[in-house]
Amino acid sequence: MNYFPDEVLEHVFDFITSHKDRNSVSLVCKSWYKIERYSRRRVFIGNCYSISPERLIARFPGLKSLTLKGKPHFADFNLVPHDWGGFVYPWIKALAKSRIGLEELRLKRMVVSDESLELLSKSFVNFKSLVLVSCEGFTTDGLAAIAANCRFLRELDLQENEVDDHRGHWLSCFPESCTSLISLNFACLRGEVNLGALERLVSRSPNLKSLRLNRAVPLDTLQKLLMRAPQLVDLGIGSYVHDPFSEVYNKLKIAFQRCKSIRSLSGFLEVAPHCMSAIYPICGNLTFLNLSYAPGLHGNKLMKLIQHCRKLQRLWILDCIGDKGLGVVALTCKELQELRVFPSDPFGAGNAAVTEEGLVLVSAGCPKLNSLLYFCQQMTNAALITVAKNCPNFIRFRLCILDPIKPDPVTNQPLDEGFGAIVQSCKGLKRLSLSGLLTDQVFLYIGMYAEQLEMLSIAFAADSDKGMLYVLNGCKKLRKLEIRDCPFGDAALLEDVGKYETMRSLWMSSCEVTLGGCKSVAEKMPSLNVEIIDECEQMEFNLDDKQKVDKMYLYRTLVGHRKDAPEYVSIL
């Protein structure tokens, strides 16, 4: 089979970068497997419990970049107790002991301790990039270790983590010799930062392309930073409050005019809406605008800002933009591909300012739209059908009606037909989240039409087991299925247990599955970990198989039961 020396094959494999493709390459034959594994530099592990660090290290000795995901997605919404798992320490410990020259670590929904960060910072000489998304468990002390010890650090990107901010001088811990920073994002930190240290750091980082500041960075510092880094491509503004007649503001206007490369803008964690005109010069080039943390920006000021952004491809916004504001988006942003509309009042009585009207307007005005996350007050079948017709290119479609079982307010019907139109029209749909009043019918449509669907999120829907069965039978490419508060029971769960081995994971909470049903799955499929999460330990008192299970999380794994589960998790 091998007409070429290994080096040639390796060179060819270099051009194959997607994880999926490289995985396929490794399955062709033994010699390709061998060449592939030695030349593999980047590995993605979607569930940290599906494999062990030791096996990873054994197979890919040349590993440089590792991506790990820990907790299940519904952990984002407080459905998974804090100490459920997803600890990164064992991975870092194992990698540190090995000869792996780790350069990049990207973590999502994992528990990261200061200890792990310190070990990380001291174990890998060429460590370059740390990206933490929705993680927790660390403090600014851990960041100080990274800053102090990673001499060639290029990227420190903290996105939406819960960090215990000790207000220490972690920024000052970057040594004078550190001049390699390309990306620095600390927007999620809530504490003060040493502004002088920040200014000096930016001054000595000529390659800095991405800088996202936290709320504690005031406008005059922003102005100074921009003057020192006019080459920035991605900017996250911390505080944007002050007097529009002041000297600082004039200087800021000049600074923005010099920043000709900014394509991505976010933050405005604190904002005075009457100062937005300074930003207009950079709006025309923006491809990404994230105002989803800026509730102070709405109404006409927001509208005016958006009207300047003609090249926008991705827009993240709060629902205070209103249907009218979305109309402005539809008229202005003809290149729009991704839209996310978040609720500005998550605890309120569901008074979202956007409805189906806004979505229809955007779908009509932005034909390139392919990714949507939309929190709204209501939705109609007619609107969804129109959207499906206008935008057949959706890859991601996530709709969240604030009242999760609300029917079509015009016809009082379930939203089955609307979502059915979406899956039928959008042949490339990979991710779907449903809400509103839904019966088994919508799942029939999903099973029939959503051939490329990989991830499905269901809440408060369906009438019977049939719903779940339609999906399991129909969606051949399904990888992640997460269900809450639906009447799916053992019959659906047990229909095709082999299917779960083809998927990454299945989450079911507040459904009708019983302990006996879960045990059955575990018995038949030793390659799955079936976890029962029982926070208040009601199961201890009652081991009856007929007992309904509150939360079940099952996932395929090559390494059996994990040893770090807390007491309230039983692995069957």
Partner 1 sequence: MVLEKDLNLDATELRLGLPGSSEESLRISNKRALPNMNDDSGVAAAKKCDQETAPPTKAQVVGWPPIRSYRKNSLQTKKTEAETGGMYVKVSMDGAPYLRKIDLKVYKGYPELFKALEDMFKFKVGKYSEREGYNGSEFVPTYEDKDGDWMLVGDVPWEMFINACKRLRIVRGSEARGLGCVV
Contact 479, 50 (CB under 8 A): no
Nearest approach in angstroms of CB 455 to partner 1 is 14
For partner 1, which is the closer residue by CB, 155 or 512? Answer: 512
Task: Tell me the window of 171-179, 387-395, 456-464, 519-527 that interacts with partner 1 (CB under 8 A).
Answer: 456-464
Residue from 123, 194, 277, 510 in contact with partner 1 (CB under 8 A): 510
Does residue 347 bind partner 1 (CB under 8 A)? yes
Task: Tell me the window of 27-35, 100-108, 402-410, 442-450 that interacts with partner 1 (CB under 8 A).
Answer: 402-410
Does residue 74 bind partner 1 (CB under 8 A)? yes
Does residue 220 bind partner 1 (CB under 8 A)? no
CA 557 to chain centroid, in Å, comes to 23
Phi-psi map region of 82: left, alpha, beta (phi>0 left; psi -120 to 50 alpha): alpha
Dist CA 572 CA 566 (whole Å):
14
Residue from 516, 548, 562, 565 in contact with partner 1 (CB under 8 A): 548
Dist CA 435 CA 397 (whole Å):
11
For partner 1, which is the closer residue by CB, 82 or 258? Answer: 82
Burial (CB count <10 Å: 0-12, 13-18, 19+), residue 438: buried
H or E, element range at 472 = helix 465-474
- Sign of the CA dihedral 166, 169, 175, 178? positive
Burial (CB count <10 Å: 0-12, 13-18, 19+), residue 491: middle
Contact 184, 156 (CB under 8 A): yes
For partner 1, which is the closer residue by CB, 259 or 486? Answer: 486
For partner 1, which is the closer residue by CB, 182 or 508? Answer: 508
Question: What string marks each residue from 410 to 439 as x (binds partner 1 by CB under 8 A) or -?
Answer: -----------------------x------
Residue from 61, 196, 284, 348 in contact with partner 1 (CB under 8 A): 348
Q: How far is CA 87 from CA 53, 114, 116, 329, 368, in A?
A: 12, 12, 9, 42, 39
Nearest approach in angstroms of CB 75 to partner 1 is 9
For partner 1, which is the closer residue by CB, 159 or 287? Answer: 159
Residue from 39, 149, 332, 344 in contact with partner 1 (CB under 8 A): 344
Dist CA 60 CA 6 (whole Å):
17
Compute φ and ψ for 163, nearest 5 degrees. -110, 130
For partner 1, which is the closer residue by CB, 13 or 84? Answer: 84
Dist CA 149 CA 121 (whole Å):
5
Total residue count of the chain as it appears in this document: 572
Does residue 460 bind partner 1 (CB under 8 A)? yes
Q: Which residue has the tokens 């999903």?
A: 446
Does residue 535 bind partner 1 (CB under 8 A)? yes
Residue from 145, 309, 402, 552 in contact with partner 1 (CB under 8 A): 402
Q: Which residue has the tokens 């100490």?
A: 83
Dist CA 404 CA 436 (whole Å):
5
Does residue 544 bind partner 1 (CB under 8 A)? no
Query: Crossing angle for the helix pair 322-332 and 299-307, nearest 10 degrees?
Result: 10
Residue from 485, 491, 516, 559 in contact with partner 1 (CB under 8 A): 485
- Sign of the CA dihedral 76, 80, 86, 87? positive
Dist CA 77 CA 457 (whole Å):
13
Does residue 77 bind partner 1 (CB under 8 A)? yes
Task: Tell me the window of 94-102, 279-287, 403-411, 494-502 that interacts with partner 1 (CB under 8 A).
Answer: 403-411
For partner 1, which is the closer residue by CB, 33 or 316? Answer: 316
Task: Tell me the window of 176-184, 203-211, 401-409, 521-529 that interacts with partner 1 (CB under 8 A).
Answer: 401-409
Dist CA 355 CA 247 (whole Å):
42
Does residue 292 bind partner 1 (CB under 8 A)? yes
Does residue 173 bind partner 1 (CB under 8 A)? no
Residue from 113, 161, 307, 313 in contact with partner 1 (CB under 8 A): 161
Does residue 78 bind partner 1 (CB under 8 A)? yes
Residue from 57, 227, 233, 405 in contact with partner 1 (CB under 8 A): 405
**How many chain residues interact with partner 1 (CB under 8 A)?**
47
Give the footprint of partner 1 on this chain (CB under 8 A): 74, 76-79, 134, 160-162, 188, 245, 274, 292-293, 295-296, 342-350, 375, 400, 402-405, 433, 457, 459-460, 462, 484-487, 510, 512, 535-536, 538, 548, 550
